[in-house]
Amino acid sequence: MRRQGPHLLILNYHRASAGSILQHMRYLQRHYRILHLDEALEELYHVSQGNKKSLLRTPLVLTFDDGYHDNYTHAFKAAVELQVPITIFLIPGYLDSGDFFWWGEGKRLVAQTTVEEILFEGHIYHLRTVEAQQQLSALIDMRLRTASSVAGRDQFLSQIRQALAISEQDYCRSDLKDDNIPLTWCEVLKMQQSGLVCFGAHTMHHPVLSYLSDPSEVHYEVARSREILEARLGNTIRTFAYPIGRTEHIGEEALKAVREAMYTWAVTTTKGIATPQSDPYRLERVLVDVRRHWLLIAAETSGIWSLLAPLWKPFINEGADI
């Protein structure tokens, strides 16, 4: 990989629990030069032929999207133990509200309901059967994902809670073992003070930007998230991560909004390795899952995974990350 010229591996995590992030970090620290994202990108885009750093170990960045609570309890704890820098992309609207993230709400709400059947969009779901529960859960998640506005998404969530007879008290109860809850501002500030964690923006409320019908809402979600983070953290926010982040989820309006909001770089979830020739607003990353064994992470980061994945895929649960 070093012979290929200057390049940067940006790993894309989400949750940090339900696996061993410490083992991942130990392996990566042993074989790569781990940097904060801003520092790594500055080096990548300003590298010169005589830069001695290019002869050192391959640079690598650990990024965590969304700002799950376990980024503090697990990823930050491991980062402190090993003195490894990490980068977390935050969603200020969720930091303010403390609400459960909208993805995964289908499964959680269906599990909470006490009703035995529900008429939804012309179809009756008999919720005593696992099949019906899964179908309704998937439909709820699809409707949330494809919402054309944040207000519309929130309205739909409220309607489905009423239809499932879930009270506001039951809905708002928080269990810190639930991995679908966000960080708090207090936790974010504590991580910042350590010097091991830097932050980027991930919109205000995590809508799928290409599905928003109003261009002004796209620009608000992109620009306002930076403003809030800079005001709360006292630092310039230079990096942005597109929600879900594949090409079909971004759209031209979002690309325009990121440039107008004066971000320096933006990362996607398209698989690849960043080079000095990479579009700074379409940077590729490598999606990894903390549930994978560290040996699989070794295969992924080294490039061996791409060769052997077709053989291993039937035996591996990839999971679904937002």
Asked whether residue 294 falls in the same domain as residue 211, the answer is: yes
Q: Residue ranges of the chain with pLDDT lower than 50?
A: 48-50, 174, 176, 317-320
Asked whether residue 304 falls in the same domain as residue 254, the answer is: yes
Report how many domains make up the chain.
2
Asked whether residue 94 falls in the same domain as residue 110, the answer is: no
pLDDT score recorded for residue 314: 56
In a domain, 202, yes or no: yes
Among 172, 198, 215, the domain boundary falls at 172
Question: pLDDT by residue (tens digit) across 34-54?
Answer: 999 999 999 999 864 445 555
Among 154, 172, 190, the domain boundary falls at 172
Asked whether residue 62 falls in the same domain as residue 196, the answer is: yes
pLDDT score recorded for residue 166: 84
Asked whether residue 94 falls in the same domain as residue 109, the answer is: no
In a domain, 285, yes or no: yes
Report the mean per-residue pLDDT for the chain.
89
In a domain, 320, yes or no: no
Range of the domain at 189: 2-98+181-315
Asked whether residue 143 falls in the same domain as residue 216, the answer is: no
Among 126, 150, 172, the domain boundary falls at 172
User: What residues contact 207, with CB distance under 8 A and at least 6 apart?
Assistant: 147, 149, 150, 153, 217, 221, 243
Q: What is the CATH number of the domain that holds 263?
A: 3.20.20.370
In a domain, 114, yes or no: yes
In a domain, 321, yes or no: no
Asked whether residue 6 falls in the same domain as residue 127, the answer is: no
In a domain, 147, yes or no: yes
